Amino acid sequence: MDRKHVEDWLATYERLWRTPGTDALVTLFTEDASYQQGPYWTPVVGLPAIARMWEKQRKGPDEVFHLTTEIVAVEGDTAVSRQEVRYGDPVDQEYRDLWVMRFADDGRCRSFEEWPFWPGQQPAEPSDGS
CA distance 98 to 101: 10
Q: How far is CA 130 from CA 76, 121, 122, 126, 127, in A?
A: 38, 21, 17, 11, 7
CA distance 105 to 102: 10
Please give the model's pTM, rounded to 2 decimal places.
0.88
pLDDT digits (tens, 9 = 90+) for 79-90: 999 999 998 889
User: Taking 80 as the threshold, does the pLDDT of residue 22 lie above it?
Assistant: yes
CA distance 9 to 124: 38
pLDDT band at 1 (very low <50, low <70, confident <90, very high): confident
47 and 29 Cβ atoms separated by less than 8 Å: yes
